[in-house]
Amino acid sequence: MDSQKTTHFGFRDVPLADKQKLVGQVFTSVARNYDLMNDLMSFGVHRLWKRHFVAVSGVRRGDRVLDLAGGTGDIAALLKPVVGEEGEVVVGDINAAMLGVGRDRLTDRGLVAGLRWAQMNAEMLPFPDNSFDAVTIAFGLRNVTDKDKALADMHRILKPGGRALVLEFSKVQSPLLSKLYDVHSFKILPRLGKLFAGDADSYQYLAESIRKHPDQDTLKGMMLNAGFGHVEVRNLTSGIVAIHRAYKL
């Protein structure tokens, strides 16, 4: 029974039924400072990763795209000019606070037409089969409780020939960089969280969640098992992050 099953929340084992609530508390806490902290954590490089992610996505004018874990709207803002007036970007996130921040930011920038915002669980997407040309998820899959279920549902809602694109922290390929990255993640990041956001614990969890996320080859296998016919993997910054692009045949 689910009440007896456990899963990881960072480095802690917690009841399966509790993880969604715990992750929700983290992102409700960090929502207002999320963009600032991303800049501090990555020295601004996350913006380049996201731009490259959209540039290699294969998304075209007129496409209908679902951006899962859309958070503060960074990916949606990059996708909207690509799909143009004929296309549509649906921003989905399980956390209402993150959705609110993103919607307000993009509205202030005048990005309203062709954007839809909806609260949803990535494991149970409220869309019919074969309804999107692409599904994107950036820095969100590692927080999903049942990743296999989410990947299978992403496959379900894609049209034949559609693409699922995952941008996520992954396994660093350089041993030296890996050691420096550990120091940054577990020594510096929580202190930055406490100093700038008043919340060290949430950023400790975020660092731990990165280490618990499947590495490049494991995630590729999970996407193949979810039904995708082909998966491409591209490392960025020596594998600190990786892009997985999968196709529904």
72 annotated to bind ligand: yes
Q: Is 122 annotated as a binding residue?
A: yes
Give whole-number Cα distances, 26 to 10, 55, 98, 102, in Å. 11, 30, 11, 17
Number of helical H runs and strand E runs in the chain? 10, 9
Residue with tokens 């690509």, as numbered in its chain: 82
Q: How many of the other CB atoms lie within 10 Å of CB of 123? A: 18
β-pairing verdict for 88-93 and 158-169: unpaired
- Number of Cβ atoms within 10 Å of the Cβ of 100: 16
Q: Which amino acid is at 49?
A: W
Binding site feature residues for S-adenosyl-L-methionine: 72, 93, 121-122
Residue stretches of the annotated binding site: 72, 93, 121-122
